[in-house]
Every structure is written in structure tokens, then in C-alpha cells.
Structure 1
């Protein structure tokens, strides 16, 4: 489903965010991407969604070589990848319904189908009945659930979550991660970037460790020292 082969990403300022990274994620697998702030996790997600291109190496998503993907094919790629952000990226002056419906409105889906899909997505994340509320009236955990509902509204085969529990307490973090596990159980490929090692230990899924842009040898001790350089 996702295959990286010797991927390096170097930005114009000379900062090397990723260096010679190779790994595979099988269809239907749920994987944690672990590492300190600045380890390269967000850059990796930008590469998988073709927001950025690698400096060298190859990325395949569902057998598509992203470096060779035509610009007119990128929207279809992104519709099949749901992305959840730590800071939610919600429109605070729009209702929960409007936030979740936005990806469907953009592609011109009929109103009746949008209604069905939004209600189904909100039901899956435990927010039924909150369609008319503004996100600003919701708790942090509920806002994150709105972000998840929006990410799955197109019924993607891949979910990428970038530090989805970073601002939540342990109980809410467990609830959010369990929602991802529920989607994974019905066949969605899930990749969660996190530095929350409690969640990694709790679920026991395969973990890919990054440190300063490189894959860690798991025989080495994991250190949680932050990178002095902010991640691009």
C-alpha cells in the first residue's frame, strides 16, 4: 500500500528532513510513526500526500510512483488519503456539519448524498446530534473527532494522523486512538505519527522509529530528546 525506497528530503535551505528512509506498510495495517519533534514525521506525511516531492528515492502509494504522478492525478490521490492534524484545522465560524461536508462540497457531490455521509461519519466518531454546533463550542477531544469525521468522509483507504492526541489527556487520547483502531478493523490502512509512547505500548502495533530524519535501529535505545531544529 505504501512503500518508501531510499527516500531523502532536503529543503532549499539545506536542512535534510529525511535521509535514506525505506519501509513498507501493507494494505490494512495500522502502524505508529514515532519520533521526537523535528524527527521528520510531518515531512514524511507531506511526501506521502504529494505536498512535497523527495529529493531522491521513490515513494509508491497503491502502486503509484508519486514522483511521476501527473498534476491532474494528485486530487484523486489525496481523496483516497484522509489526513488528521493535531491542531484540527477546523473552520470555527462554520458548523460541524459544514466542516465535515467540505471535501464533498468541493467535488460537487449531490446534497442528499452529502447529508447521508456526514451523518454517518459523525455517528462513527460519536458526534451524532452535534451537526449544527460550532466547533468552538466543543471540547478539544470533540474537535479532534470532527477532524477525523472530515478525514473519512471520502471513504479513503489510507488514514494519516499527525500527532492526533498531542493536546489531549490520557483518557481522551485513548478514545481517539481507539477510533483509528476501529477504522483499521474494517480494512483502512492507518499510520499515526506520535511521540506518545504510552499509546504505542498500549496497542502494541508495529512502530517505525525516526530520529533526526533517519530510521532508528530498534536495537538502539529510544531517546526522547527534542531536535533543536524545528521540523519543516
Structure 2
């Protein structure tokens, strides 16, 4: 599903965010990405979502080198990827329903299909009764659940999450991780960046560890060189 082959990312000011990163995440696998602040976790996720492009090496999604995708085709690549941000990025002048519906509206789905999918997604995250509420009236954990519902409403095969529990208390963090495991059980591929080692170690999924832009644990990929 996701393969990084000798990937480097240098920003314009010369800072090297990722250095010779190699790993493979199989279809239907769930893994955590950890490391200190500034280790390169967010950059790695941005390369998968084609928000950034690798300076060197290959980022392959289902065998497609996304670094070579034309700018006009990037939105089509992103339709197969759900993205969850730590800061939720909700529209506070829109209801919960409208926030979750936004990706479907952009994709051009009809009104009836949008209603069905939005309510199914809200039901999964336990917020079906809050569809008419505005985000400002929700707790931090509920806002994060709205962000999760929005990310999965298009039924993407892959879900990326950047510190999704960073602002939540331990009990809420465990609830959010249980949701991710439920998505994984039905075949979704998940890569979750988190600094909460105690929590992610208890969940028994693979852990990829970055340090100063290098993958120091969990990412050994003996097949990487054949894609170089």
C-alpha cells in the first residue's frame, strides 16, 4: 500500500527533514509513527498525501510514484486518503453535518447519498445526535471525532492521522485509538503519528521510529533497493 524507497526531503532553507527513509506498510496494516518533536513525522505524512514532494527517492502508493503525479491529478490521489489533523481544522460557522459532508460535496455526490454517508460516519464515531450542533459547542474529544468522521466519510482505503490524541486526556485518547482499530478491522490501512509511547506500545501494532529524519526502528525494508 505505502512504500518509501530511499526517501530524502530537504526544504528550501536547506534543512533536511527526512534522510534515506525506507519502509513498507502493507494493505490493511495499522502502524504508528513516533519520534521526538521535529523528527520528521509530519513531513513523512505530507509526502504520502502529496502535500509535499520528496527531494530524492520514491514514495509509492499502490505502486504509483506519487512524486511524479501531475499537480492537476493530486486531488484524485488524495481521494483515496483520509487525513486527520491534531487541530481538527473544522469550519466553526458550519454544523457538524456540514463539516463532515464537505468532502462529499466537493466530490459531487447527490444530496441523498451525502445524507446517508454523513449519518453513517457520525454514527461510527458516536455523534449521530449532534449533527445540527456547531463545533464551538463540542468538547475537544467530540471535535476530534468530527474530524475523524469527515476523514472516513468518503470510505478511503487509507487513513493518515497526525497526533490525533495530542490534545486529549488519556481516557479519550484510548477511545480514539479504539476507533482506529475498528476501522483497521474492516480492512482500512492506517498510519498514525503519535508521541504517546505508553499508549501506542499497549496496542501491539507495529511502531516506526524517526530520529532526526532517519528511520531508526520498525522501518527496515529489504526490498527497498529494488525500487531505487
Q: TM-score, normalised by structure 2?
A: 0.94
Is residue 53 of structure 2 the alignment partner of residue 60 of structure 1? no
In the alignment, structure 1 segments of 5+ residues that lack a partner are: 219-232
Aligned counterparts of 2:171 and 2:217: Cα–Cα separation in 1: 31
1:43-82 equivalence runs, <5 A: 43-82=43-82
Aligned to 1:101: 101
Aligned counterparts of 1:217 and 1:37: Cα–Cα separation in 2: 16
In the alignment, structure 2 segments of 5+ residues that lack a partner are: 219-228
Total equivalences in the alignment: 218
Aligned to 1:189: 189
Q: 1:32 is paired with a residue of what secondary structure?
A: strand
The question of whether the paired residues in 1 share the 8 Å contact of 2:208 and 2:217 is answered with no
Aligned to 1:128: 128
Aligned counterparts of 2:136 and 2:211: Cα–Cα separation in 1: 35
Aligned counterparts of 1:128 and 1:67: Cα–Cα separation in 2: 38
Aligned counterparts of 1:17 and 1:174: Cα–Cα separation in 2: 30
Aligned counterparts of 2:187 and 2:76: Cα–Cα separation in 1: 20
Aligned to 1:226: none
The question of whether the paired residues in 1 share the 8 Å contact of 2:210 and 2:217 is answered with no
The question of whether the paired residues in 1 share the 8 Å contact of 2:159 and 2:190 is answered with yes
Structure 1 residue 170: Cα displacement:
0.5
Structure 1 residue 217: Cα displacement:
4.4
Structure 1 residue 70: Cα displacement:
2.3
Aligned counterparts of 1:79 and 1:153: Cα–Cα separation in 2: 11
Aligned counterparts of 1:72 and 1:33: Cα–Cα separation in 2: 29
115-124 or 59-68, which deviates more: 59-68
Structure 1 residue 202: Cα displacement:
1.3
Aligned to 2:10: 10
Structure 1 residue 72: Cα displacement:
2.9
The question of whether the paired residues in 1 share the 8 Å contact of 2:6 and 2:20 is answered with yes
Aligned to 1:24: 24
The question of whether the paired residues in 1 share the 8 Å contact of 2:16 and 2:213 is answered with yes
RMSD: 0.9
Aligned to 2:221: none
Q: 2:130 is paired with a residue of what secondary structure?
A: coil
Q: 2:208 is paired with a residue of what secondary structure?
A: strand
47-56 or 209-218, which deviates more: 209-218
Aligned to 2:214: 214
